Amino acid sequence: MPDPRRLAVAASLWALGLALAGAGLVLMLRAAWLALLPVWGPVATPLAMGGALLLGGALTLALASRRRPAPPPPVNPVANMVTAFVQGYDAAQALKARR
């Protein structure tokens, strides 16, 4: 079982990283807005940025909702051992029958 303290530290670091990345994204969007506003105007700037964010969100949701193949069933070590024993026994019987 994982150490609860280690899990708490990892979760805290993930939360801090996500918060910093979110703040950086907000500042980058604001800078892009201010840079594009004089070039494209007050109508085209939010339209282009909103469309780009909508497209990015749709792609992210599409990637997140992909179906992944089911993992293989867990291997039963006893069944593997019995199978190996039977294969070895059969091989020994075949060698014995050739003599």
The CA-atom distances, in angstroms, between 13 and each of 16, 20, 56, 80, 96 are: 5, 11, 25, 42, 64
pLDDT average, residue stretch 71-80:
83
Please tell me whether the overall predicted TM-score, pTM, comes out greater than 0.85 for this model: no
CA dist., res. 86 & res. 68, Å (int): 35
pLDDT at residue 92, as a whole number: 92
Instruction: Note the pLDDT tens digit of each residue in 19-48.
Output: 999 999 999 999 999 999 999 999 999 999
> Poorest-confidence range of 3-12, 31-40, 67-76?
67-76
Q: What is the chain's mean pLDDT, rounded?
A: 91
CB 52 within 8 A of CB 33: no
